[in-house]
Amino acid sequence: MRSTPRWRNVAGARRVGRPVVVPALIAVNVVVFALTVVAAGSLNRNDASALFQYGSLVPGLVTDGEWWRLITSGFLHFGPIHLLFNMFALFVIGREVEGVLGRARLITVYAVSLLGGSAAVMLFSSPASQTAGASGAVFGVMAALAVLALRLRVPARQAFGLIALNIVISIVVPGISLVGHLGGLVAGAATTAALVYTPARNGPGLQIAAVSGVVVVLLALIGVSVV
């Protein structure tokens, strides 16, 4: 018997149909936002809720042992505009990246980018600062789009232009965590490069090892920040 070879993309992932991960991530962020709004009794001051205060990233509290904030902060947003901008960017860019990388690899890029943004905040922000938002993870997905364009040898000008525009916005608009955005950007680029430049023909073992190396570096940087 003969079988038709299964199509795999540049990262070694099988062809996916309709995006699943991106809508799921958006849904989780919206649900968490709604919970904070209900708890706070305010749409624009949802950060006053106990849930928000318990999950936002405060470096000093992470140093005291509240490690979950490194992750939970990525699903909290300061008001509806903050949420809308991040979810719109994720919707537009994330679907493209999911179509190329596949579902599992997109989740990997998103998660590591989120951790990268938190690591940068831990290293460079005040211990008493409060940070929240999916921006670090979204910047990582932007970086993934740029790396994929380079790997596939297609024009990358738009991807880099989008990144540059968002960095400028992060600098100009007050109250935005530039270091968190840059941390997610670097982590996303490194993770995507580990996925698309590491041979996958013999299985995902080398990719897992390469991505694990990125995570270990991020965890080491967080460890340095709490010493």
Which residues are identified as catalytic?
A: 135, 181
Which residue type sits at 219?
L
Which residue type sits at 48?
A
Give 3's DSSP letter.
-
CA–CA dist 142, 115 (Å, integer) = 15
Q: How far is CA 70 from CA 85, 158, 161, 176, in A?
A: 21, 31, 29, 17
- Taking CB atoms within 8 Å and a gap of at least 24, the contacts of 166-175 are 166/89, 166/139, 166/142, 175/78
Task: Find the distance separating the first CA and the last CA of the chain, reported in whole Å.
Answer: 61
CA–CA dist 88, 71 (Å, integer) = 21
Beta bridge partners of 182: none
Cβ atoms of 154 and 100 closer than 8 Å: no
